[in-house]
Amino acid sequence: MATRSLPADVKLLSWAAEHLGIADSTAYRLAPFEQIPGAFKVGGQWRVSVPKFMHEVHGVDLDASIAAGGTAPSTEDNPGRPTSAGDDRGPTASKQKAETGGTER
């Protein structure tokens, strides 16, 4: 059986989860409640419209940019995500220690 690839403007829901910095399981829980921009269901599988996602999340209108002769921004780069697995979005232990006057919680 031949595998079918997705069109360039459609990605798997896991792609959106990665760009939002959430786990795949969280994305699959949020998608039915229209909490993932551009998500839609095809049969039993969730997909994401890349132009709609980029417009709603990043404010980039891919269709207008391409129509004007510009190049579409790379959807592979994600400046909002931590660069390594060791990074986190919350305060570090040393920062917490400084904020609490040297006591740990």
Highest-scoring range by mean pLDDT, 24-38, 51-65, 73-87: 24-38
Residue 44 CA to residue 24 CA, distance in Å, equals 16
Q: What percent of the chain has pLDDT over 90?
A: 47
Tokens of 54: 């980029």
Whole-number CA gyration radius for the chain: 18
Residue 66 CA to residue 72 CA, distance in Å, equals 6
Residue 73 CA to residue 70 CA, distance in Å, equals 9
Question: What is the per-residue pLDDT for 58?
Answer: 86
Task: Evaluate if pTM is beyond 0.75.
Answer: no
Residue 93 clears pLDDT 80, i.e. is over it: no
- The more confidently predicted of residues 94 and 7 is 7
* pLDDT tens, residue by residue, 63-86: 776 666 655 555 454 444 444 444
Question: At 96, is the pLDDT very low, low, confident or very high (cuts 50, 70, 90)?
Answer: very low
